A and B are shown apart, each in its own frame.
Chain A
Amino acid sequence: MVTREQELVRTVVYKHPEALEDVQTHYCPGCTHGIAHRLIAEVVDELGIQDRTISVSPVGCAVFAYEYFDLDGVEAAHGRAPAMATGLKRVWPDRVVFTYQGDGDLAAIGTAEIMHAAARGENITVIFINNAIYGMTGGQMAPTSLPGQRTKSSPMGRDVKIAGYPLRMSELLADMDGAAYVVRRSLHSVREIRKAKKAIRTAFMTQISGLGFSMVELLSSCPTNWGFSPPDALKWVEENMVPYYPLGDYKVIEAVKALE
């Protein structure tokens, strides 16, 4: 008879994803970039696409993402990942190409590239890390910083009279006819992380099925530059970011619904 203990040993409940290198990352303790990486790697494993997936890393804290994914990869100029992904995907249409971009990268310097990639219905997947701050350069205001949010370049809090209003990218991109799947999820709790993984899977499936542009926006934390402990940072995401950036599905075309 097999004991419950033996049964558990036989069933793998947790393992290091194949598509994730077994190395230490340079991310700060408690940063959600690591969680996002792991979710992507798990999805790549589950879909069996490690051998034909190409990552496009951004300029930002995730500039070395290609060192953490066990995938072919390139590193784009700041904001240009969707253009670079376009070049890659157009000449390798049967490969899976995804970009991994921060909010400064995607919603400030690279706004034109992301909008037009979506408008063209570029058959790529975008993982958008919205942490409401410029992490890599040390905590300046991002296009997604909340009104009133203190940053290194809005020390008295983001004054919308001076700095204008945050961009809600999922809402904007959902409006594009070429967008097939655009959703916003969050990484602030286990429950939300599970939902985020499911969305990432659907986004990759959208691309594999040739249905067009897919993006998963992930509300993320930057404990270091926000000046919070990791748990408090997650609480800040839930209490301050989620109300401004409502979680949900902003665009799911019928053909994508049929995939789920």
Chain B
Amino acid sequence: MSAELMKGNVAIAEAAVRAGLEAYFGYPITPQTELLEHLSKRMVELERVFVQAESEVAAINMVYGAACAGARVMTSSSGPGISLMQEGLSYIAASEVPCVVVDMMRGGPGLGNIQPSQGDYFQVTRSAGHGDYHPIVLAPASVQEAIDLTFEAFDLADKYRHLVFVVGDGLIGQMMEPAVMPEMRPIRPRPDWAVSGKDGREKHIITSINLGAERNEAANLRIQDRIRVIRENEQRSLEWNIEDARILVVGFGTAGRVALSSVKMAREAGLPVGLFRPITLWPFPEKRLAEIVDGGIQAILVVEMNAGQMIDDVRLVVGHDVPVSHYGRLGGAVPLPDDVLHEIEKIAANIGLTATAMAG
């Protein structure tokens, strides 16, 4: 199949349709609205379920209902809407039902603006709701990656009966890039555990209440067991120019993409710099990062479109062995390759690396 020019939001929506999305519930918010608009047409055309809910609170609880019924289901939003969904997300995680949530992050806090941001990293990776759990969080940096990860998100959700986030920043949602769509997959049968009417079997109950400390602890431990397996099996990342690198730049999504340009510029100038781009924000790709750092990294620069959130996860991996610094733009501003290059040069000078020394 040949590549077609596609807008990120539309590409994600269509990828979900091709992955066998049965139901979508959402509420308009920039910068993800094209996603909802695309589905308002496509889902109806295909005689699947599309409902524009009265709020994100309602949308996520509709998702919860459809997920309990075993349907492949998705919603999408941005910061303010994701904040409203927190309670529902927590019920979904506690009930161990699968669903996919797209968060096109915008500048916060508050109403902030509609410019691209990565300010919701903590919100999505820590729990996205009250209680003890982590969703799986996938972070594409291009339209093609957004398609591939969305397509796969549904399988991951099913496999672990868990909440899966696809997070972009406004840029991923709004930009046009050539990309290839996967073939349409048939809608999968509803799983055995679904609520469907008890028809000739024992009744099925899906609930998140567990009265008594022991019962609720047991339920929590079951979730933690699954989370441990996810952490073991699903860490993903991409890397560039790692082999002889002494400085490692770490960034995800758009920030990772910008940082790649800077790394290439630094290489041209003869600096030994590599890039590490996490694809899964949770589980954070700690195993691979630790290996790379052990291979001779002397300093790390974390580039984000926030005040420093993923840097905490990087620090958890490297501890005090290697100095870690941060370069971030806030509130909807996107870092420029030249600015990141400048940061790299400063770090190189600090640790006594010079381009000429390298060239020699």
- Residues of chain A whose beta carbon lies under 8 Å from any beta carbon of chain B: 50-54, 56-57, 63-64, 66-67, 70-77, 80, 83-92, 95-96, 112-113, 115-116, 120
14 interchain pairs, CB-CB under 8 A: A50-B198, A51-B200, A76-B64, A83-B53, A84-B68, A86-B58, A87-B62, A87-B63, A87-B68, A87-B69, A89-B65, A92-B196, A112-B57, A113-B61
The answer to whether B66 and A87 have CB atoms under 8 Å apart is yes
- Residues of chain B whose beta carbon lies under 8 Å from any beta carbon of chain A: 22-23, 25, 49, 51, 53-55, 57-59, 61-69, 71, 73, 87-88, 91, 95, 195-200, 203-209
Return the 9 tightest CB-CB contacts between A and B, nearest first. A87-B65, A83-B61, A52-B197, A87-B66, A75-B207, A84-B65, A80-B61, A87-B62, A116-B54
A77 to B86, CA, bound (A): 11
Most buried by B among A51, A72, A91, A92: A91
Which residues from chain A contact B195 at a C-beta distance below 8 Å? 54, 72-74, 88
Known contacts A87-B25, A112-B58: does B64 contact A72 (CB below 8 Å)?
no
A122 to B95, CA, bound (A): 24
Which residues from chain B contact A95 at a C-beta distance below 8 Å? 196-197
The answer to whether B199 and A52 have CB atoms under 8 Å apart is yes
User: Of all chain B residues, which has the CB nearest A86?
Assistant: B62
Which residues from chain B contact A53 at a C-beta distance below 8 Å? 197
A54 to B71, CA, bound (A): 15
The answer to whether B209 and A75 have CB atoms under 8 Å apart is yes
Which residues from chain B contact A83 at a C-beta distance below 8 Å? 53, 57-59, 61-62, 64-65
The answer to whether A80 and B23 have CB atoms under 8 Å apart is no
The answer to whether B197 and A72 have CB atoms under 8 Å apart is yes
Please give the distance in Å from A173's CB to the nearest CB on chain B: 14
Please give the distance in Å from A74's CB to the nearest CB on chain B: 5
Known contacts A75-B207, A75-B208: does B69 contact A92 (CB below 8 Å)?
yes
A86 to B95, CA, bound (A): 18
Please give the distance in Å from B91's CB to the nearest CB on chain A: 5
Please give the distance in Å from B48's CB to the nearest CB on chain A: 9
Please give the distance in Å from A59's CB to the nearest CB on chain B: 9
A154 to B39, CA, bound (A): 47
Classify the interface of chain B: helix, strand, loop or mixed.
mixed
A86 to B64, CA, bound (A): 10
A76 to B87, CA, bound (A): 11
Which residues from chain B contact A89 at a C-beta distance below 8 Å? 65
The answer to whether A66 and B207 have CB atoms under 8 Å apart is yes
The answer to whether A86 and B51 have CB atoms under 8 Å apart is yes
Q: B198 touches which one: A64, A67, A71, A90 (CB < 8 A)? A: A71
The answer to whether A88 and B88 have CB atoms under 8 Å apart is no
Known contacts A72-B195, A85-B65: does B206 contact A77 (CB below 8 Å)?
no
User: Of all chain B residues, which has the CB nearest A63?
Assistant: B209
Please give the distance in Å from A20's CB to the nearest CB on chain B: 12
User: Of all chain A residues, which has the CB nearest B199?
Assistant: A51
Apart from A54-B197, A71-B197, A80-B88, list 17 A-B contacts with CB within 8 A: A54-B195, A74-B95, A75-B207, A77-B61, A77-B64, A83-B53, A83-B58, A83-B62, A83-B64, A86-B62, A87-B67, A88-B65, A90-B51, A96-B197, A112-B54, A113-B61, A116-B53
Which residues from chain A contact B203 at a C-beta distance below 8 Å? 70-73
A40 to B90, CA, bound (A): 30
Please give the distance in Å from B189's CB to the nearest CB on chain A: 13
A1 to B151, CA, bound (A): 74
The answer to whether A90 and B23 have CB atoms under 8 Å apart is yes
User: Of all chain A residues, which has the CB nearest B206?
Assistant: A74
Please give the distance in Å from A233's CB to the nearest CB on chain B: 26
Q: A91 touches which one: B71, B205, B209 (CB < 8 A)? A: B71
User: Of all chain A residues, which has the CB nearest B207?
Assistant: A75
Which residues from chain A contact B51 at a C-beta distance below 8 Å? 86, 90, 120
A64 to B210, CA, bound (A): 11
A23 to B205, CA, bound (A): 16
User: Of all chain A residues, which has the CB nearest B90?
Assistant: A77
Which residues from chain B contact A72 at a C-beta distance below 8 Å? 195-198, 203-205
The answer to whether A113 and B54 have CB atoms under 8 Å apart is yes
A95 to B198, CA, bound (A): 11
The answer to whether A88 and B61 have CB atoms under 8 Å apart is no
User: Of all chain B residues, which has the CB nearest A91?
Assistant: B71
